[in-house]
Structure 1
Amino acid sequence: MTLGHFAVIDTETTGLFPGNHDRIAEIAVITMDRSGTVLDRWETLINPVRDLGKQSIHGIRAKGILDAPRFGDIAEELDWRLSGTIIVAHNLGFDARFLRAEFHRAGLALPDFYLPRGLCTMQMAHEYLPGAGRSLQDCCDSFSIELRHAHSAGDDAEATAVLLSRYMELDPDLGDWDHLLNEAAATTWHDASPTALLAPIHRASGESRETHFLDRIVVRLPEIAGPAEHQEYLALLDRALLDRYLSAHEQSALVAMADELELSRTTVLELHSQYFSSVADTAWADGVLTDEELHDLAIISELLGIESEQLEAATRTRPDSPALAPTMKTAAASYLEPGDLIVLTGDMSRPRSAIEAELKAAGFKPHGAVTRKVKLLVAADPDSLSGKARKARTYGIPVVGEDYLWNQVFHSTGR
């Protein structure tokens, strides 16, 4: 009989409780045969349609999942990939609970026999690595297995696959290996692959260069937009740069605005140059450029694609270029006024109650829900997909990162 394969999986999730509202944010499947040879590695980020939870653990940024499929989009393909295999995971119970919940949401279900017959390399460590510890890192260390990026689904699954192969090498004559694979082959539930396979979305590598949003603005000739359109684009830019960070959402909004107003890339670059000059004028207004202002100019120049020569000139002496109209005031902290409503979302670096106390002491009003009266939404991740963040963007309320509170809001109020 033809042997089936091992499907070694790992998931990264937004939290611990699939029965409530936590979701899978990344999944990987390593297909391996009885000899320990890896036949395929498949992994993808998944848009969980909610905030990403403890990002400090899994390291997934919201901007990385904006174009990622939802679980329902990959459910059929995943079901096919698992057909005819024995599922393996390190702490299989955890991954199995999330798989059940996600397939249920997608209106599908794995065969009843599939998950219960799987192998858990964490549980197997009691037999093969007594006293070594139960974490994947502990077990890998016992065999000098490299775990390159812990809490990355692909690398965790690959390390787990190697760990399983080491177990098989320690106990090569155990009949259960072949018995399970024979059983897997006999219970294949898919004969053919789905008609269409989605292109997986991977984490950005450290070496990859992100495309600057300016490169996505179409070069148009002839130019038909006028000054009113320029001011509309600059107004959006002013809001987007409130926290001196351009989230992926804000970049997309700027690209869409340039497209709607039929602004060419050349014109947008000129508007960025004018905007930068306005900020530089403001910084030099008292005749002194502080280290903080210098840092601010450097950040803005990088975000807006300003040439290094213009940045260097602006840091030497006050630019001669005219400032923008007074309505384009760019001092970030001046956006807020005492009594403004501020909403928090996501897992912050400090307890939410402590941050809310700081806001109250600074004269602002922490608010629990996003309404049109809210002035600002502070998110643990500016690209958050939480319900609060989605509503704030719908209302045109700026969504900023937590750093904005410490570096702009509290700093400006002397907190």
Structure 2
Amino acid sequence: MRLAPRARPLAEDPPAGCTSRAVECGVAVSSVGRGWTLVDVETSGLSSRQHRVLSLAAIALDVNGHVVGEYSSFFDPGCDPGPVHIHRLTRERLNGSPTFDSAVEDLRELLEGRTLVAHNAAFDHGFLVEEARRAGVTLPITHRLCTITLTRRLQLDVPNAKLSTLAQHWSVPQRAAHDAGDDVRTLLEVFRRSTGLASTLGLPLPVVACGAATRAHPDKVTRVPCPWTDPGRYDSAVGLIQGTKVVITGPTHAPRLELARRLADAGLDVMNAVSGKTGLLVANPGAPDSRKLQRAQELGIPLVDEATALSLAERVVPGTLKSVPVIEVIPSPARTRGTPPRRASSSLPWSGRRVLVLGGLHSDATAVRARLVQLGAVPAINLTTAVTHILVLSGGEADGRFAKARDRGLPVLEAHHVLSVADASEPAVPEPKRVDDGSAETRPAPTSLPAGAVVDIPKGMDRFTVNLAWTSAKGDPSEDPDVDVVAFELAGDGRVPSDDEFIFYNQPASPDGFARLSIDGDREQGVSIDLAAVPDEIERITIGAAIDGEATFGDVGAISVTVDAAEFTFATAVLDAATTERSMIIAEIYRRNGLWRLRAIGQGYDDGLAEFAARHGVEVEE
């Protein structure tokens, strides 16, 4: 696998015209250029390569937050409109609408020099890029801001970051969900309120640089879970057996994705990377000498052309169905359906408190945060709406967040409040004075994990996201190290079965789709997991992070980890013992005696992403 550099255009220095000031209309600006352009699209599906934009609405704001332009239109791409039950855009309703290329000039004017804003910005940006590519043009999008990421950075006390949930939280009327015009108007009010709150907290906005393309990785086959056991290598004397692992390389007569679909429909396991388990390589004569071909020759994997593969698929030999293992999880205590499970840490003296530590040497702050975890508190790394106390060490009063915390009425603690208290007694500390900023007063208390701690994943919590957040020890966002969150899907030998099971910025989802990168921010990234879809050959999912360049995790500082289910945060950890390390194992989800468990780790290494990947079995090209 080639670890091509992640495209970071304009990431080193803010472009000319970058402003940073509080302005009218409640918009806290760390904007790029002329202001912001808020966008919402309704689409025929989830893949920007395969599906189309059916409806688009956009509102442009100047640097003062005033509306200076709007656009809205339906489009008729001449395809199946997809989930009509969601967006209500039927063929009849779209009939007679223009095609996307009619919107290009209007969009150019609205986007030129402004930061794109969307709810799940990577999704909307990806569709705009692909539609523009089909029209033979490039849209002027250099930076974007995701309001989901902004919500996470603020740590609003909401059960999820859906636009409808945020509209209710901010008392914004939403008349027609999944209508692009109404959604973008709702987004405008959510954006104004959220950025205004970020300004009062002193939080920088999560603006990220983006190029004209949304990814550097090639179009990949979406791997369909195969119900048949792997019969091994293709044998011409026996025929092609259902469950055989097949890889396609080079140009194909049929579109690559269509060819893959036809082979998968026949019961074959179509993959993207060649491994020792690959049973057949499909390559037409004259295919370029690719790494897949070289690897297949090294391993002695049989090769057939496209026509032969399709012919074999028409008379495929029946395979053996997999036995489906039942993976139990530790049952949670009896509770009302839909409510979060009880936390073992709820009986600890400081359970439910979020404490921001300011000042002190790195070693002092690390010791205090470790003690906070022992007391049941959650150490915070930013001043957010969820912070209940601040703890000031030497020099902490000089931190700009100190004054903002005092303005919000947060109680101030000192080191002796946490270092001398007995675990079993309630410490005599000031209680927080809540500030009415629209957020609720209570949040379910998550389990706070020190490094090395293990917790059983509750029954029914199949889907969750391991989210990471950090600040820079330098404090200047333009000088932040580039941190990449990655994941490895490991078999019983502790290695990835193939390069397909390495998830990183150029390959953001696993073959079976059970793990994928999520969160689009400059200081927040995450990996979403669906345990119900994990193949039986995968024993462990390792979540890690690596730094590009010469910076280290000592420059990054503390990393906050939250494990978030749909309606609550299940567990948290703060990992901040790193100094010279450039790669780190953050956490792992693994099977043990038929159960799923989560471990917080924080183990660092001095090497970079390539060595980190190779250590987990990824074949990295020079």
Query: Do Structure 1 and Structure 2 share a fold, with TM-score over 0.5?
Result: no
Larger relative contact order (C-alpha < 8 A, sep ≥ 6)? 1
TM-score by length of 1: 0.40
TM-score by length of 2: 0.27
Which is richer in strand?
2
